[in-house]
Structure 1
Amino acid sequence: MASQRRAAPRRQDDGGGAAPARRRVLVAGGAGFLGGHLCALLLRQGHEVIALDSLQTGLMANLAPLLEHPRFRFIHHDICDRLHDAPSVDQVFNLACPASPPQYQADPVHTMLTNVLGTHNLLELAAGCGARFLQASTSEVYGDPEQHPQTEAYRGHVSPTGPRACYDEGKRAAETLCFDMLRLGRVDARVVRIFNTYGPRMRADDGRIVSNFICQALAGEPLTIYGSGTQTRSFCFVSDLIRGMAALMALPDNPREPVNLGNPGERSIAEIAELVRSMTNSASRIVHRPLPVDDPRRRCPDIGRARALLGWQPEVALEDGLRPTIAWFAGAGAPKRLPAAAAP
C-alpha cells in the first residue's frame, strides 16, 4: 500500500468555497449493499468515485447503473492485499467487510483479516495521499449490551472467542487502528457505528432479519424467528444511513470520537415479522428456531452525538422504508435468487 511517509491532509470542501467542490473518493466495499448506495450518492453530489471490491459478498449488479458514468471507476481488489499503483484520492470510505452473520462466519479468518489488515492497508493509502478516512464500524462492537440504549461511551459486552468474534472484535480492532493513526497525526480518521440498516439491494441470501422475512413472506414460506421474538432491533433505512455517513465525512472538524448512526425506534423481532406479513398480504405462519450463540437481546442507538455534531436524525419511518424494500424484492424475481440491481 502506501509508504510510511507523512502527507499533509488535503483541503476538503466543507462549505467554505475555497477548495474545489469535486473530490476523488475511494469507496472500499463499493459493490455491497451500502457501498452501492453510497457510490450513487457521491456521484449525485458531483464527485469522482472509485469503487473497490473483492466481490466476495458484493455484487456487480449493485453498481450496474453506475458503470457507464464518466466519473465512476471500478477496481476488483481484496483490501487484505496491498494495492499497487494505488490511486491518489481525497477521501476513503472503508465499507469492505461482510456484514451479516452467515457471510462473515463463512470465512471467519478472512473476516478478521479484512477488518485488521485491510483497514491498515487503507489507512496507509490515506496517509500516503493526505486523504480523509471514514471507517464503517458497527453496533456489534457493543455485543450483547448491558447498557440501553447504547451510547458511544459504552465499551460493550463482547465475547472474544465466540462465533461472532471475527466480526465484533475485528471491527473493534479496526476502530483502534483508526484512532491510533489519528492520535499519531497521520490520518484524519473518523468512525461511524452503524446499526441495523435495510432497503432495496439487500441480498436475498444474507440472513438478515428484514430480507429473511420479506423473502419468506413473498414465497409463502414460514417466517422464521430465532428465539422468542421479544429481542429488539432498531432499523434504519439505507438513504438515512448513507446521508449520515456523508455528513460525518464532510464535517470540518474531526470529532475524535465514534458516532452512532441508526434509528432509535426500537422494535421487537416478532413485531417486524407481523408487520412484514401484513404489508405483503402473506398467509405465512411464524415458526421459532433456537437463538444463535451470542445473539444480542436488545439493540438501540443513542444518537445524541449525531444530532449535535451533524444535525442528523433518521427521516424514513419503518413502514415507509419497508414499502420500497418489499416492492424491490417482489420485482427482483423469485426471492430465492440474488436480487437484481435497481436504479439509484
Structure 2
Amino acid sequence: MAELTQNPRPLARNLIDIVKTPWALIVVILALVAIFDPGNWTEVVTFAGKALAHTGQYILFAVLLLSYLKATGAEVMVARAFEGRETRMIFLAALFGGLAPFCSCEVIPFIAGLLALGAPLSAVMAFWLSSPLIDPPTLLITAGALGWPFAIGKAVAAIALGLFGGFAVRTLMRSGAFAEPLREYKPAGCCGSVPKTDDKPVWKFWQEPERRSKFRSEFVQNGLFLLKWLALAYVLEALLVSYVPADLIARVVGGEGVVPIVIAALVGMPAYLNSYVAPPLLAGLMEQGMTAGAAMAFMVAGAVSSIPAMAAVWSLVKPRVFATYLGLGVSGAIVAGVVFQMI
C-alpha cells in the first residue's frame, strides 16, 4: 500500500517536467493553430520546418565544436587570460569571453575563483559582458538565421562591449570604487570548478577513453538542447510572420533615428529568451519592418540581461557592481545598435 501511495508523486513530477519542455509548448502551439486557423497550419509547419532544416548544418557544426572544446579542456586557456598586466587582461578577457565554452552555471565558480584569487574586477567585467553575447554555437546559429554580416557584427559588439566595460570599471576603481566587489560565496560543487592555469588542453582527446566519453555526452546533450530551442524559435517566428501586422512592428521599432534603437534595447532586456531563440525571432521581426540597428540593440541588451547572466552576476558581487553591469550592458547595446545601423 505504501508503494501505491508514493508512486503517483514522482509520476506527477515527471509529467510536469514534460509539460514544461519546449517540445510540449510546440505541440500546444501547433494544436491551437490547427483548432483556430486550420487553413494556416500547413504554412506554419512548413515555414518552421524549412527554417530548421536550413539551420541544421550550423547546429551540427556548432555542437561538434562545443563538444570538442569541452572534451579537450580548452577552458584552461580562458583562465590564463587573467594573468599579467591589467590592460592585457582586459583585452584577453573580452576576446575569450566570446570563445569560452561555459554555460551560465559553470561561469559562476569560475568567476568566483578568479575574484577570490585577486583577478581585477575590470578584467572580470570585460569577460562577463562579452561572454553572454557570443560563443561558437551562438555565432553559427546567428549566421544561419540572420546572415554572416549580422553574426560578425554581434561578435565585434561583444568584444567592444567587453573592452568598454573593462576600461570603464578600471577608471572607476582608480577613483576608489568597488574596493570589495565580492559577496560571500560558497560554491555548491555541482557546476564545475576553476580550471588550473598550469593544466594543458589535450587536443587529441580521442586517445583517452574519459575524454571520448565526455565528447559523446556533450554532443548528445548540446545537440538536443539546441534542437529543441531552435524548433520552438522557428515555430514562434512562423507565428510572428503570420499573425503580427507588419505595420505594428514598423511603427514601434522601424524607421530611422536613435529612438527605435533605444526602444528595442529597453524592450529586449525583459523580453529576451536566450541566445538560440533570439536570432530566428529577430529574423521574423526584421521581415516585418524592424531595423537592423534595433535588432542588434535588442539582441545585445537581452543577452546581458538574460536571467542566467544576471543571476551569475547577482550571486557573486555587491549591488553596486550589479547595477554597473546592467548600466554598461544597456548603454553598450544602444551604441552597438546605432553603429550597426550606420554601417
Give the structure-1-normalised TM-score: 0.23
More helix by share: 2
Q: Which has the larger radius of gyration?
A: 2
More strand by share: 1
Bigger relative contact order (CA 8 A; separation at least 6): 2
Give the structure-2-normalised TM-score: 0.23
